[in-house]
Every structure is written in structure tokens, then in C-alpha cells.
Chain A
Amino acid sequence: MAACPYEVRYVHPIKKIVEKCNWCMHRVLKGLPPACVEACPSGARMFGDLHDPESEIAKLMATQPVQVLKQEMGTKPHVFYIDLDVDAIEIKREVDVL
């Protein structure tokens, strides 16, 4: 938990084990989108198979410039952001801390 550069691991309140987001594996296996994707009224999130060039997400990735968080950590994250201003966030963080 302490090593995760994104601090996204947490102790599951009921199972009392350490977990992180698994894209709602239980839903995906049944052909449903992850809960956060389905719940978002403005469609800000998208989930899909990047190996399939015909999928909506693969097409979007092919046409839009994307960024990831903390690329320098070499974790090869697969959460991509469109129109994310990483520099602005980094500077903001520094101001908040000091």
C-alpha cells in the first residue's frame, strides 16, 4: 500500500483486505461497463479493449493526444486522460504542500 505511487490502494471496509480498482471485474465479465462509467451522466469516462482496433476506445486513442499520471514512475498506467494539464496539477500540488 505504502509503495503505490498513486495512493489508490485501500483496505476494503468489510473484507479487511487491501484492494484497488479492478475496473469492476465482476461486471465486466458479465458484459456490463464498470459502475463509474455507467453512472457518469456526462459520459466523461470510457472503458474498453485497447487490443481491439475497432473498439470505440481504440479509435478515440488513435485520434486524440492522451496523457497519463506520473509517467516518470515507469508503471505504464492504462488510465489515459484527454486534455489533462499535468504541469498545472504538479505546480498546484507543490503550492498546496509548502
Chain B
Amino acid sequence: MTELLYDVHHQVTFRWLIALYFYFTGMSAGSFVISTLAYGFGMTKFKPAGKVGVVMATVLLFIAPVMLLLQVGWPVRSIWNHFTYLNFHSPMTYGAFLLMAYPINCVIYGYFMFKGDMKRTKIFGLIGIPLAITVHGYTGFILAFGKARAFWNTALMPFLFLISAIVSGIALMILILMIKDRFFTKEKKVNKEIVYTLASMLGWMIVFDLFLVFCDISTLSISHAEAKEVAHLIFFGEMSPLFLGVENLFGKIIPMIIVLTPKFRNLKTIAIASALVVVGILFMRFVVVYGGQVLPLI
């Protein structure tokens, strides 16, 4: 009815491509940060994660902008317009520059790491940390600045994105480390120490993530009328199976219990928990991106 009143048709423009774009930049930033723990901050127990991390960060950050360009549909035009209509009020402008600078830094950082030049690796690792945080953090700002959408318009959004980025980055890294050790090394044996260290880190990051989600959702369900509509949508509406079931129960709570309970924790269950998290965060991106647009604005 309301659509007829204004003759404006409700449309959802950001769908899977944008969700995937956020997902890939998130995992890239997360794995980069983990890789710098050993090579930037000298925490030697994370050393086995260093090289895997930088390769993951680089590959994921080359896939991510492809999603973005597919969404825009005009790759040449979008690059051209970026410079001709340079807009410093837009987080998308900063994002576009970061998307150019960050992968270059990843490649340089990885090059020195594989060459064994530890001093330069450290320098580019430390330069990369703010780049990794901002290249993913800006996507949170893009949504947070969408002030008409109650689900997006929260100062928590960049934090939510960064923590979920680290969560998904660690989970994917555990899986890749396991596959690499199991199938592509001479010993064919998984490095238990690093996997257990990463798994407990994953568990505590999920706790933090769940706390942020709780802050966000509880505020939404008490706040103004549109925020309450959003809370209703994700608890009882169209998005509830994805939000409650896939994202939070299977994607966060079950893996958290597995990796933080010594009785349940072994290499096999850690692999299952990590796979659940990797899928769960993908749906988290979708729930936020798509769910933010479900309610008509007018």
C-alpha cells in the first residue's frame, strides 16, 4: 500500500556480491593480522601461521574487488569516475585507495618473508596492520553511514566487522594449515601446537563477537520504531533462520563450545568448528547486508 502512496518501488540492491566482497576482505584482513603476530610482533609460536597468512591475505584480496566490480557492472567507468569525481566525504573513496594499496603491501611483505629478510618483513608487516584494519573497517563505515537503515546505522558496525573478520580469518587459517600440513608436507602430520593455539584464540574472539552482537541487537530491540522493526525481522521474520540458526547457533555458539571445552577439543572437532565458523560468517555478512535492506524506507 505504502508503495502505491509514493509510487516508489522497494528494491534491494546489495545482495550476495556485496556480502561476498565483505566476506573476502574480512578474511584477508583477519589472516593478515594473524600472520603479523609472528613476523611483526615476534610472537614465535605463531610462526607457522605467518606464510600461510600472507598468501591467504593476498589471494583473498585479489578475489574481493572482483565481486565489487561485478556488482558495479562498469569496471572501466567505475575506475574512471573514482578519479574524475573524487569525493572525500565518501568512505567508498578511501576504500578504493585502500584496495589498491593493501594488496601491493601484502605482496611486498610476502616477498620479504619468503626471501627470509626478517627486518624488512617486520617493517611491511607493521605498515600492513593499519592497512588491513582500514581496508576491512571502511566496509563497516559504508554500512554505518547508511543512516536511513536502522540495522546499519550504528557506531558498532565497524567493530562488528573487524571482529568477525578476525574470527573468520582464524577459522579459515586453521583449515588451510591443516590441509597444508596433512597433504602437502613430507611428514603428513598436522602441527598440533599452532592449531590448538589458534583454536583457543578463535573461541575467545567468538565470545567477543557474540558480546558485540548482543550489544547491537539489544539496543535495536529497545530503540526507535524502525530499529524495533529490524529486531523483529531478525528474531521472528524473514531473516531469523539465517540470523539465529546459521549465523549464531551453528556459526558461533556451537564452534565456540567445541573449541573452548577441553573434552570436545581434538583436531577433527576443531576442523569441524572452523568450517562452521567460515560458513557462519559468510551468512553473517549476508544477514547484515541483505537484512539491512529488507524493510522498505518509504
- Residues of A near any B CB (own CB < 8 A): 1-8, 10, 16-17, 69-70, 73, 89, 92-94, 96-98
Closest 7 CB pairs of A and B: A5-B148, A1-B13, A3-B146, A7-B297, A2-B13, A2-B14, A93-B2
With A5-B297, A7-B11 known as contacts, the answer to whether A89 contacts B2 (CB < 8 A) is: yes
Residues of B within 8 A of A97 (CB): 229, 295-296
Is A92 a contact of B145 with CB atoms below 8 Å? no
Residues of A within 8 A of B293 (CB): 2
Q: Which B186-243 residues sit within 8 Å CB-CB of chain A?
A: 225, 229, 232
Is B149 a contact of A16 with CB atoms below 8 Å? no
Residues of A within 8 A of B88 (CB): none
Is B229 a contact of A7 with CB atoms below 8 Å? no
Q: Which B261-298 residues sit within 8 Å CB-CB of chain A?
A: 292-293, 295-298
What residue of chain A has the Cβ atom nearest to residue B12's Cβ? A2
What residue of chain A has the Cβ atom nearest to residue B5's Cβ? A89
Q: In the complex, A98 Cα to B231 Cα: how many Å?
A: 11
Main secondary structure of the interface of B (DSSP, over half): loop
Interface residues on B, range: 20 to 34
- Residues of B near any A CB (own CB < 8 A): 1-2, 5, 8-11, 13-14, 73-74, 77, 145-149, 225, 229, 232, 292-293, 295-298
Which of these, B9, B146, B229, B298, contacts A2 with CB under 8 Å? Answer: B146
Question: Told that A5-B147, A7-B296, A7-B298 touch, could you supply 11 new A-B pairs with CB distance under 8 A?
Answer: A2-B13, A2-B146, A3-B147, A3-B148, A4-B148, A4-B297, A6-B298, A7-B297, A16-B74, A70-B148, A93-B2
Is B149 a contact of A6 with CB atoms below 8 Å? no
Residues of A within 8 A of B225 (CB): 94
What residue of chain B has the Cβ atom nearest to residue A69's Cβ? B298
Which of these, A73, A93, A98, contacts B232 with CB under 8 Å? Answer: A98
Q: In the complex, A11 Cα to B74 Cα: how many Å?
A: 12
Q: In the complex, A73 Cα to B297 Cα: how many Å?
A: 12
Q: Chain B CB within 10 Å — which of A2, A4, A70 has the most?
A: A2
